[in-house]
Each structure stands twice: as structure tokens, then as C-alpha cells.
Structure 1
């Protein structure tokens, strides 16, 4: 049965999938509103450090204030859910512990919060959907392994670019195409100097946190999304940071060829991004069989030998409920890391850094990220940006644009994400 049929049948039987959302920003609010339109699924619990944001997530979806219960402890949550109330809390530790919750969605965007939420969900036998790609590219392989051992699903989300690419990739791979390249569009030029101050005005107009928009503009978010694609497929960046060419969709089949064939690639099986095709995602394929070439030409897919499979949209968190349903009904992930990391998002200095100062994080003032093949990053001792926080101390002067290595900083070894990363390194 299709997911649509399964959801309809579930509701007809008087049941629904009960979902907990942690993080009530733009993405979380959209996801809850979308779920309210669906059969067989209920956004039962919303958790945010700002309780008014959590309440607004429901009221924007048409829920009356009197039908929303503010809960301070687990017992309150469990009782309110049993009474059919929509529940909000400001305690993130409770998001994965409620008795009736089936699936947890992490939309915090914080690597440290994501690591803790995922671990709590796995320990409490809840499926975990990571809208939080930042945590996934840092410790996703170990979280996926732990989830499998616990009998639950660890997954990224449909609708975000990595999930949308993975759907096309799986389609092409199942059909036996040779896959040359995968990737996403980027809708603004990269400004490596972007920070919350430089983007604040635009961010507020878009109802985004300034640091969130800054992570898009300085390129870190794109690198993180490509790393998620890489870690789920085995594809690698062709060069550090990727090529980032300018093209329309039609030009992709010529650009993503080996250099000897007139393209830009040193290797095939790569992940990249392209200016000029946003908000779409793409997969470039080829084949060794003449009959398939003939039919692809007949179907107006181009003259070959490469062809572009392109999706012109992605609906971010509005598609997350499909991932929730697939995890619940079929124990299937939309996108998840294969065994061991393939790519890393390593840390660069955004400004000159002085010995003794403390760093910040993704989308802020002092660091940004770029993609590198994991085995190269490991050989060069490069620091994953997901491990950087406000307790990370610089041990020597670092120039703007310099790649930061582990031995240049003192890390916060008390963080959950650091401990998970150590476990991941030992296992993989």
C-alpha cells in the first residue's frame, strides 16, 4: 500500500502517528501546519526554548489556545496527550520521552542539541527524523548504527535538498544507470565574510534567524548538505569545496563530464553544487547501452552521452511528514549515512583569530565550513565544524581563510557531540 493509503486506513481505524517536534522555527512551524492537513498523523508535542514560539506553532495551524497544554514535566505531557490535547514544553529533554510519541523530529539546527535529541530518541525507542543536517554530518554514521541496534529508524528528511537528491539517486541507481554526479542548486552567491550582522535586515524580512541565513550565504549550509548527500551515497567532492559552477539545467550534462571529455571533473561519482538552478536538485546519469541512449533521445532527455534528472523544487519541512510516515510504516529512512563517513565539513577561519580567544559556531562570526573527502580530512587532522562551540579555545594565531586542525584548538570534551564523535572514530 502507498503511504497515502496507509495514512487513510490508520485514521479510519481511529489511530494516528503521534509526532514530537523539537525546534519551533520557520521549518518547524511549516511542518506542523502541513501535518494538520493530513490524515493519520498528529503533531502531538512541540518543544522550544521559547514557549511562545511553541504555542504559535499550533495557533498558526488553526489550533485554539484553550486546546494547547503547557507542560513542565513528563507526567503533565503524558496526561495531556492521553486527554487529546496539543502539548508544548520548553524542556527539550522531554521531547523524546513521552509515552505515546511514535516519531521525534529534530529541527533545532544545533549540532550539540541534535546529538542529544537523537541519542535520547534512540534510547527511548522512538524513530528520529533529523531536519538537523548539522548534527547528521558530524555524528550521523554512529547515530544510524545505534538506531539500527535499537530497532528504530534514524533518517534525514524528505524535502531538504539531501533527501530530494537521494530520492532521484535511488531511482537512477535502481534502474542501473551509471551515475556521474549528484547535487543541488544554490540561490545566492557565496560571501565568505557573511555574518549575522551583515544579513540581519534580510533575515528578519524572511522570518529567519540571522545566523541561519548567514550559514546559507557564507556557504557552510551548502557544504553541510553536500556532505549529507555524500555520506548517504559514497559520492565524494571532486575538489575541496566543490566546483560550484554557474549553469542552467541544460548545461549540466556537458559540464559534469571528465576533463578528457571536455568537462570539469577529475573523477565520476561526485557531489557538487551549481549557481543558476536553485531551488532544484539534480542527478547526472549515463549508460553503456545504445538502445537506452536511443530511447533517452526519443524522450527529449538530450543528445547524450550524459542526461540530467532534475527536480525543480524541494519543499523542505513541508515534506517531512512523508519521512515520518515511511519510518513508522516501513522502518525506512529517506536518507541516512552508509557505514562510516565519506565526507567531512571542515573548519576555516572566517577572520584572523588570536591565541587564547574562543570560537562561536555555524553561521556566526569566526568560522565557516567547506567540504572535503573524509579520508583526506583525517589524514590532515582537519577539524569538523560540528565540534566547534563557544567553549572551543584557539591555541595559536590563525589567519583568515586558514583551515583549522585539531591541534590548533582545545575542544569542549564534555559535549555530547564530542563523545559521540569519539565513539564514531573508534568504530569506523
Structure 2
């Protein structure tokens, strides 16, 4: 029976899956636009730092006021309505919630919410890739110990990439490389919230007339968001990050099997089984032919001449040898697709991708020469960008993860393009997010047989 059929069956029995959403921003609002159209799915609670903003978002995506007029989670569950609040702890603890969706984008909040979900036995859909990249490997272990599902968010690119990887491996193909497309030029690493709109080509009038957050948009442009998402993919799919960060080669969909194959076979990969992001722009700024800016891909290898012939017979685009081929999905619809993750947990007890081993980490890199005493402003800001590196390298450097590079003053000056280290910043070791991340470093350092760090 399909997930949709199972959801309809739940609806007919009057036992819909009861969902609590934390974060009514773009992703959350897109999910809410579809949530009431899905039988057997009941958004019982919506939590946001601004309940008024959440209500405005719900109206904007088509909700009539009577749908979110409930005065409690219990009333919402009983009346098929939704309760809007700013109390995430209460939402997670509510007995009227089965699945929690974290769509906040805050690493510290994400860690707090997942640990609370473990305590209250609530399944988690983790839209919050920032938290997953920072601490997902240990959060996933805690979730497994608590007997809950910890899932990637369908519609977001990491979950869609994981789906392609799983498809290829399930039919006996070795995945050579997997990733996504984006708009990239090397100069973007220096972009700040002051320069971001020029790179996007948005006019002042467009920005003034829309819901645009310059720091968030800049995190997509300066490479940080790509690094976070590919860390999530590496950790979920047992794939390796490039040794010195993503290279963003210009590449269209027809050239994926040619560009993203090993160096020894004429491609750009140092090894098979990697993650990489392809750019929709040539290095001189010209658009790539048939780019994959909004999509995801997986490159795989024919294990035998027979399978190579099958690739050709059924029209797969391959490299010249016919050995390497690719599949791709040209678009992702973020929150509009999130119901798939909820349905998968509710009807199959399965995640739509989940974090496993800790293979890749996103470290903070100085965007410019930074002075002692300057305060770091996190992803998409003026001071740092995120770079994906192998976990062993991050631990050896004692590097500060990008997810914690916000609000911390520098002890020392740091030159441009150098990683920020834990020893470079002043931090509160008692803060939950810091303590949990440091615990994860110690756990995995021990499992990798690396020397334990002397914590500053």
C-alpha cells in the first residue's frame, strides 16, 4: 500500500498523524501551504518566536483564521485546528504531537529541540541542516537510543540526494559522486550582506518589495549553505568530502558523468565515493549550458560491459567510455515536499535519509583579515564563511565549526582564508550547543583513534 493510501486509511479511522512545526519561515510556510491538503496529516501546533508572524505567514499561504484559532494543543487536536505558540518546549512535550519538524535554521535551537524530542519520544524531521551539520552524528545516535526516527527533510536537497544515492545502491550500482547545483564564482566567498543583492542581480525595488533576509541569502551565495548541505549528505550516505573543500566545477547535466569521475579516468575527482557541488556559471560568468542550479544528481558506474551496454540502450547520458552515467532531478520544492518525510515516518517508520557516520565537517574560514576583539557573525555574515573538509582534518586543526561561529569574540587576529580555531575565540563551554558539540568531538576522536585535544 502506498504512503498516500495509508494516510487516507488513517484519516478514515480518525487517527491522523499529529505534527508540530517549529519555525514558520519560508520552509515552514511552504509546508503549511500543503499540510491541510494531505489526508491523515494534522498540523496540531505551530511554534515561532513571533506567533503574530506565524499567523501572518499562515494567512499568506491560504489559511482562514478559524483554522489557527485553537487555545491549546488539546483543543487543536480535538477540533482539527492548529494552536500557534512561541513555546517550543511545550510543543515538543505535548501528548497531542507525534512528529516534530524543526525548521528554525538555528544550530543551538536544533540541538535543544532534538534532545527534548528524545526525552519525550517524538520523531523528528530535521529541516535544520545547520544543526545537523554541527552535531547530527551524535544527535542521530541519541535519537536511536531513544527509539525515535531522526529524518532529513524531503524537498530539501540533502534528502533528495540521499534518495538518488539509495536508489543507485539498491540496484547494485556504485555511486561515484553525488551532490547538487548552485550559482557560484570564487569571488562569492568574499560576499557580505552589503554585496549579496548585486551578485543575485536583484534591484533595490525587488528587495524592498519582498521577504528577503540578506544574511540568509548570502549564506547560499558565499558557499556556506552548500558546505552544510554536502556535510549532511556525506554523513548520511557514507561519501567523502574533498580534502580542501568543495571546488564547484562548472558543469551542466549532460557533462556530469564526464566531469565527476576520477582523475585517472579524465575527471576531477580525487577518489570515488565523493560529494561535490556543480556551478551554473562558467568561471568567466557565462551561464553553463543546461545547468543544474536548482537540482540534485548522482553519478554511478557500470560494473560490467553488459551494464554499460544497458546504459547505452536505454538512453542514459554517459561519458565517452560508457562506463560512468548520471541521474538527476532538476528541481527541489523545499517545504512543498515536506509531507513526504512526515508520511514516511507515520506509515513506514522510516526516515527520508538520516545522519550516520561523521565524515564531513563545516569549519569557519575568515573572509578577510580579522582583528583581535572582533565578534564573529556566523554564516552569511561579514566575517566568516563555511568550508567542508573531512572530519579528521577538522579535528586535527581544532577548527571552530561554522554553526558556532556567531557572537564569539576573537582572542587573536586571524588572517583572511585561515580557519578559525577553538583557541582563537572566547566561548562559554557550559552553553548546551557548545558542550554537545565538544562531546561529539571527543566521542568521534576516540573512535577514530585520534589524540584527544587539550580543550582551551
TM-score by length of 1: 0.94
Are 1:260 and 2:264 counterparts?
A: yes
Deviations 1:185-231 (A, max 9, x none): 00354512222233365655552322110101111001101111100
Shift of 1:403: 1.2
Q: 1: distance between equivalents of 2:47 and 2:419? A: 36
Contact 1:238–1:271, Cα closer than 8 Å, also in 2: yes
Shift of 1:70: 6.7
Shift of 1:58: 2.7
> Which residue of the partner structure matches residue 194 of structure 2?
197
Shift of 1:362: 1.4
Q: 1:136-285 counterparts in 2 under 5 A? A: 136-189=132-185, 191-199=188-196, 201=204, 205-276=209-280, 277-285=292-300
> Which residue of the partner structure matches residue 409 of structure 2?
393
Q: How many residues align?
A: 422
Shift of 1:175: 1.0
Q: 1:297-316 counterparts in 2 under 5 A? A: 297-303=312-318, 304-316=322-334
Contact 2:297–2:329, Cα closer than 8 Å, also in 1: yes
Q: 1:29-428 counterparts in 2 under 5 A? A: 29-69=29-69, 76-189=72-185, 191-199=188-196, 201=204, 205-276=209-280, 277-303=292-318, 304-339=322-357, 341-390=358-407, 392-428=408-444
Shift of 1:393: 2.0
> Which residue of the partner structure matches residue 25 of structure 1?
25
RMSD: 1.7
Most deviating of 257-266 and 129-138: 257-266
Q: 2: distance between equivalents of 1:204 and 1:421? A: 38
Most deviating of 414-423 and 77-86: 77-86
Where 2:69 maps in the other structure, the secondary structure is strand
Deviations 1:262-304 (A, max 9, x none): 1112111110000121111111111221111111100111351
Most deviating of 309-318 and 162-171: 309-318
Distance 1:54 1:302, change over 3 A: closer
Contact 1:112–1:415, Cα closer than 8 Å, also in 2: no
Where 2:434 maps in the other structure, the secondary structure is helix
> Which residue of the partner structure matches residue 14 of structure 1?
14
Contact 1:387–1:411, Cα closer than 8 Å, also in 2: no
Please, which runs of 5 or more residues in structure 1 have no aligned partner?
A: none
Distance 1:397 1:299, change over 3 A: same
Shift of 1:150: 0.9
Deviations 1:374-412 (A, max 9, x none): 01111122211112221x121101112221111111223
Q: 1: distance between equivalents of 2:66 and 2:311? A: 57
Q: 2: distance between equivalents of 1:204 and 1:104? A: 33
Shift of 1:80: 4.1
Q: 2: distance between equivalents of 1:125 and 1:203? A: 42
Q: 2: distance between equivalents of 1:56 and 1:47? A: 13
Distance 1:204 1:49, change over 3 A: farther
Please, which runs of 5 or more residues in structure 2 have no aligned partner?
A: 198-203, 281-291, 445-456
Deviations 1:329-371 (A, max 9, x none): 22211121113x1000010112322212321211222111010
TM-score by length of 2: 0.88
